[in-house]
C-alpha cells in the first residue's frame, strides 16, 4: 500500500483526521488516489498498528467525534527512509493507444473523429487539472521557497504530460489527414 506514504506525508505536515485527509487528497495534485474512505481509514488503522502514527480523540460539541492522527518519531524515520528510496518508474496506461493500434479497421472520417474525441478528452483533463491546481494552492504547505517550488514542479509535470499528449494527438490527426485520406 503506497498510499500509506502519501498519508504519512500529509500527516507529517500537520496532524489530521481521516476526514481531513480525504479532503486534502482529493484537492491535491501531488496525490493520485481518489481519497476513498476504505483506503484512508484502513491505512490509518494499520499505520497506528505499526507505530508510525498515534491518534487522539477530540470531542466536539454539536459535531461528531474526530480522531486526529499524528506522526510518531518512528513514523518520521520511516517516511524519511522512503523519501530516500530509489523511485519507481511512472506507470502509464493509455487505453486509447489500444484503440488506435487497431484503428485501421475504421475509415478516414471515423479515425479522425476518434482522434478529435481524444483531443477533447485531454482538453477536459487539462481543465480539471487546472481546477485542482487552483484549489491545491490553498493546501500547498510551502513552508520554504524550495517546498513551494517542488509542489509547482509536480503540477507542471502533470500539465506537461497532458500538453505533450495533446500535441501528439494533433500531429497524428494532421498526418492522417495529409497522407491517408
176 lies in the site for its own copies, by CB under 8 A = yes
Among 34, 38, 60, 144, binds its own copies (CB under 8 A): 144
Under rule CB under 8 A, residue 149 binds its own copies: yes
- CA angle, 33 as apex, 29 and 34 as ends, to 5°? 95
Tell me the C-alpha distance between 39 and 21, whole Å: 11
CA torsion 85→89→91→96, rounded to 10°? 170
Q: Counting beta carbons within 10 angstroms of the beta carbon of residue 111, is it exposed (0 to 12), middle (13 to 18) or buried (19 or more)? A: buried
CB atoms closer than 10 angstroms to residue 40: 21
Query: Which of DNA, its own copies, none is residue 151 near (CB under 5 to 8 Å by kind)?
Result: its own copies
User: Least distance (Å) from its own copies to the CB of residue 64?
Assistant: 29
Footprint of its own copies (CB under 8 A)? 2, 5-6, 9, 12, 30-32, 79-80, 82-106, 110, 114, 117-118, 121-122, 124-125, 141, 143-147, 149-151, 153-154, 156-158, 160-161, 164-165, 168, 172, 175-176, 179-180
Amino acid at each position: 500500500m503506497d498510499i500509506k506514504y502519501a498519508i504519512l506525508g500529509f500527516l507529517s505536515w500537520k496532524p489530521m483526521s481521516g476526514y481531513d485527509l480525504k479532503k486534502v487528497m482529493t484537492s491535491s495534485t501531488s496525490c493520485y488516489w481518489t481519497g476513498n474512505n476504505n483506503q484512508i481509514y484502513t491505512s490509518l488503522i494499520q499505520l497506528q498498528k505499526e507505530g508510525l502514527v498515534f491518534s487522539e480523540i477530540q470531542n466536539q460539541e454539536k459535531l461528531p467525534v474526530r480522531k486526529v492522527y499524528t506522526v510518531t518519531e518512528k513514523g518520521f524515520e520511516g517516511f524519511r527512509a522512503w523519501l530516500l528510496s530509489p523511485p519507481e518508474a511512472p506507470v502509464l496506461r493509455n487505453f486509447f493507444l489500444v484503440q488506435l493500434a487497431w484503428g485501421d479497421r475504421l475509415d478516414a472520417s471515423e479515425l479522425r473523429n476518434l482522434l478529435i474525441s481524444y483531443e477533447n478528452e485531454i482538453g477536459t483533463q487539462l481543465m480539471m487539472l487546472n481546477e485542482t491546481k487552483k484549489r491545491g494552492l490553498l493546501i500547498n504547505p510551502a513552508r520554504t521557497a524550495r517546498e513551494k517550488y517542488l509542489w509547482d514542479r509536480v503540477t507542471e509535470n502533470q500539465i506537461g504530460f497532458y500538453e505533450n499528449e495533446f500535441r501528439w494527438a494533433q500531429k497524428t490527426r494532421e498526418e492522417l489527414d495529409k497522407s491517408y485520406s
